Amino acid sequence: MQYKCCNHILGSIDLSFNGFKYCNEVWEGPEFIPYNEENAFFKNEKRRLDIIDNMKKGIIPERCKQCPMLEEKDWKEFDGKIYKITIFNWKHCNAACFYCSVHSEYSNEIKKSSDYDALPIINNLINEGRLNSDTFIAFMGGEPTMLEEFPELVRLLLLKNCRMEVLSNGIRFERAIVDMLNADNNNSVCISVDCGSRETYKRIKKVDKFEDVKSTIKKYIDKTGNKSNRVKLKYIIFPNINDNKKEIDNFFALCNELGVKTAARAVNHLESKMNTKNQAIEKSVIKSYEYFASQALKYGITLQPEPWADAIIENKVYNCRKIPLLLRLKSELHFLFGLK
């Protein structure tokens, strides 16, 4: 049937920090249903199905109205199959990025999620035949490689040939990621590097682990042969920190040195997804965003599509270019010469 809907509403489950959700594209919602609430899983599913019914009648929830995922097309009927599971039911992490949108808790210990055990729910979905090779699983967190049950979750999902993407800081090498990358369904790991030098790395991540990350990337690439294009490096562009040509050049030199073939660029979504009124994107960030793409092209590196970042940069979503003149000049100098 032709109507405005999105893949999340059609069949997503979020194992979120405090409970079940069906989408994490916009910060404003939906509210989570606490894991310990009776029938929480089914309540989450029911509200999703109710939204589909409403969308068929043209009734769009307020929080979805500006989301770039919303699309008018001929949507298939929901058949019980899960399209996407986002697993981020823990917050511990072995880095302390200043920008971390989940306000991770720093820890150097591999430990279980204190919130909820994802294994039984994944097991149930597998037993009910609701996961298959069309299902996409995103591991977020916290840091997936610091989650005790992570290798077991990957093993289970590999059995159903689900497509997986792990977002990782790459500080710790994890064998399960190599197994996942070598499987037959385009699985990927996206490593947040956000810079091209040790000095900037420390400034952003608050840990001195740039060399460890390089070593992890190299191992993933070396161990995946002709599937090494599944190892992606990510760069979130921040004003006056890494939005200058030199840092971006260093990042692409790093990609070149390590044999990375895919990169992703993003912008800070802390303010943009939460405060939809006053988002300010500095000109230097907008320029760096373009420069990043031109350098990717120059080095023959594929850019992963990032609809949210594109929408913010292209000013489709928020009014984000009202920057005072002095700040604009400062960011211009930073972009060109890396001046702080």
Ligand X SMILES: C[S@@+](CC[C@H](N)C(=O)[O-])C[C@H]1O[C@@H](n2cnc3c(N)ncnc32)[C@H](O)[C@@H]1O
| Residue window 35-74: x/- pattern of binding to ligand SF4, with contact defined by CB under 6 A | ----------------------------------------
**Which residues, numbered 10-29, are part of the site for ligand SF4 (CB under 6 A)?**
none
Q: By C-alpha distance, which of 145, 11, 36 is closest to 86?
A: 11
170 touching ligand SF4, by CB under 6 A: no
Choose between 205 and 230: whose C-beta lies nearer to ligand SF4: 205
The torsion of the CA quartet 193, 116, 182, 223, rounded to 10 degrees, works out to 50
Tell me the β-bridge partners of 111.
147
Identify the residue among 55, 85, 87, 93 touching ligand SF4 (CB under 6 A). 93
Place of tokens 């993933």: 220
Residue number, nearest CB to ligand X: 101
Of 14, 45, 143, 149, which one interacts with ligand SF4 (CB under 6 A)?
Answer: 143
- Burial of residue 322, with CB atoms counted within 10 A of its CB: 0-12 exposed, 13-18 middle, 19 or more buried: exposed
Task: Classify the phi-psi angles of 260: left when phi > 0, otherwise alpha if psi is within -120 to 50, otherwise beta.
Answer: beta
The number of residues that bind ligand SF4 (CB under 6 A) is 12
Nearer to ligand SF4, 143 or 165 (CB): 143
The DSSP 8-state label assigned to residue 315 in this structure reads: T
148 versus 290: smaller Cβ distance to ligand SF4: 148
Give contact residues for ligand X (rule: CB under 6 A): 93, 99-102, 140-141, 143, 167-169, 192, 234, 236, 266, 268-270
76 Cβ contact partners less than 8 Å away, ≥ 6 residues apart: 10
236 binds, among ligand SF4, ligand X, none (CB under 5 to 8 A by kind): ligand X
Of 13, 15, 17, the residue nearest 100 (C-alpha): 17
- Contact partner at residue 269 from ligand X, ligand SF4, none, CB < 5 to 8 Å by partner kind: ligand X
Strand ranges (DSSP E) for 135-278? 136-139, 163-168, 188-192, 231-237, 262-267
CA 239 to chain centroid, in Å, comes to: 20
Interface residue with ligand SF4 among 24, 169, 228, 288 (CB under 6 A) is 169
Piece of the chain touching ligand SF4 by CB under 6 A; list 21-29, 96-104, 115-123, 289-297: 96-104
From the list ligand X, ligand SF4, none, partner contacted by residue 281 (C-beta under 5 to 8 A by kind) = none
For position 96 contacting ligand SF4 by CB under 6 A, the verdict is yes
Q: Pick from 95, 121, 180, 190: which binds ligand SF4 (CB under 6 A)?
A: 95
Are 194 and 168 within 8 A, CB to CB?
no
What does the block give as tokens for 178?
A: 């190599």
Query: Which residues contact ligand SF4 (rule: CB under 6 A)?
Result: 93, 95-97, 100, 102, 104, 141-143, 169, 192
